[in-house]
Amino acid sequence: MILDNSAPTPDLTRKINKIVGKPFSFLARYKMGGIGSHRMYIKAYSQGFEKFLVRNSNSLYGNIELRPDGIIIHISQRNHRFSWVLPYYQLSVFQSEGFTLHGQGEFVRFHTDAYFDKNKVFFERMFIARERVLENY
């Protein structure tokens, strides 16, 4: 589900929480070592994002937020913030021309540069969380 999250509403927050769970508490965030990635440069994205994003933008960055049952990929462009809500059971990860997250028939490909290298510990955390959820699924 791709959402315009520029002005979040209570209804939108409920939808997100229903799909990927409520945000972690402060103590849980601290114990995990953080739940958000550093920003990463977006190299490519699927057609589902085209109605939200301006294709001519030179700098398109995104970051990932961990939730108990999935992730939220936040993409900021100009004054808008778009969120792709993706449960772990629909998440597939590939590394070829870049680091690509697939799910729900869509994808986002991040460039593997210095920003990507800063996030290696975060990705390990994400894979561990995904494994825990999928074991119980």
Distance of CA 55 to the CA centre of its chain: 20
Closest CA to 133 of 44, 69, 66, 52: 69
d(CA 54, CA 123) in angstroms, rounded, equals 28
Which residue(s) pair with 106 in the sheet?
Answer: 103
Distance CA 75, CA 82 (A): 5
**Cα 113 to Cα 40: distance, rounded to the nearest angstrom:** 8
User: Per-residue confidence at 18, pLDDT binned at 50, 70, 90?
Assistant: very high
Q: Which residue segments constitute the domains of the chain, with CATH numbers given? A: 2-136 (2.30.29)
- Give the mean pLDDT of the chain: 88
Question: 55: pLDDT confidence band, cut at 50, 70 and 90?
Answer: low
pLDDT the model gives residue 51: 79
The tokens for 25 are: 């508490």
Whether pLDDT at 16 is above 80: yes
- With a cut of 80, say whether residue 53 has pLDDT above it: no
Residue 137 pLDDT greater than 80, yes or no: no
Which one is predicted more confidently, 17 or 4? 17
Q: What is the pLDDT of residues 56-115, one digit of tens each?
A: 656 788 999 999 999 999 998 878 888 999 999 999 999 887 889 999 899 999 988 887
Question: For the chain, what percentages of helix, strand and coil (3-state, to nearest 5) are there?
Answer: 35, 35, 30
Q: If you search the block for the tokens 């209804």, which residue do you land on?
A: 11
